[in-house]
Amino acid sequence: MRTQTTAIAVLSSLIADGEPMLESQPTTATLVDQVPAVAADETFDDTWPFEAHYSDASGFRMHYIDEGEGPETLLLLHGEPTWGYLFRQQIPAWSEHARVVAPDHMGFGKSAAPSDRTYWLQDHIDNIERFVLELDLRNITLVMHDFGGPVGMGLAARHPDRIRRIVSVNGPTPFGQPDLIDRLTANAGDAPWFRWILDAQEHGTLDEVLGHLDYNILSTMKLNGFVRNEIVTDTWIRAYAAPFPTPTEAAGAIGWAKGFATGMHRFEEPSADAISAIKAKPALAIWGEQDRTLHPDHFLPLFAQLFPDAPVYRLREAGHYSPEDAPDDIRRLVIEFLNASAE
Give pLDDT tens digits for 171-203.
999 999 999 999 999 999 999 999 999 999 999
What pLDDT, on a 0 to 100 scale, did the predictor assign at position 34? 78
Residue 32 has pLDDT above 60, yes or no: no
DSSP letter at 243 equals: T
3-state secondary structure of 82: coil
3-state secondary structure of 255: helix
What pLDDT, on a 0 to 100 scale, did the predictor assign at position 1? 42
How sure is the predictor about 29, in pLDDT bands with cuts at 50, 70 and 90?
Answer: very low
Tell me the average pLDDT of the chain: 92
Q: Which residues pair with 93 in a beta bridge?
A: none
**What are the tens digits of pLDDT across the range 217-260?**
999 999 998 899 999 999 999 999 999 999 999 999 999 999 99
**What are the tens digits of pLDDT across the range 125-169?**
999 999 999 999 999 999 999 999 999 999 999 999 999 999 999
pTM here is 0.93
Average pLDDT of span 305-332: 97
Residue 179: partners with Cβ closer than 8 Å, 6 or more residues away: 301, 302
By DSSP bridging, strand 163-169 and strand 283-290 are parallel
How sure is the predictor about 24, in pLDDT bands with cuts at 50, 70 and 90?
Answer: very low
**Domains of the chain (ranges plus CATH)?**
2-340 (3.40.50.1820)
- Distance CA(301)–CA(319), nearest Å, equals 18
- Distance CA(116)–CA(21), nearest Å, equals 16
What pLDDT, on a 0 to 100 scale, did the predictor assign at position 185? 94
Put residue 139 in one of left, alpha, beta given phi > 0 → left and psi -120 to 50 → alpha: left
User: With contact defined as beta carbons under 8 Å apart, do 94 and 100 qualify?
Assistant: yes
What pLDDT, on a 0 to 100 scale, did the predictor assign at position 22? 42
Q: Alpha-carbon torsion 338, 63, 216, 196, what sign?
A: negative
Residue 11 has pLDDT above 70, yes or no: no
Residue 111: partners with Cβ closer than 8 Å, 6 or more residues away: 36, 60, 61, 62, 63, 83, 103, 104, 105
Amino acid (1-letter code) at residue 164: R
Residue 33 has pLDDT above 90, yes or no: no
Residue 285: partners with Cβ closer than 8 Å, 6 or more residues away: 167, 168, 173, 300, 303, 307, 310, 311, 312, 313
Q: Which residues pair with 62 in a beta bridge?
A: 55
The residue that leads in pLDDT, 13 or 199, is 199
Q: Which helix (H) or strand (E) holds 209?
A: helix 206-210
Which candidate, 253, 208, 215, 248, places its Cα nearest to that of 82? 253
What pLDDT, on a 0 to 100 scale, did the predictor assign at position 18? 44
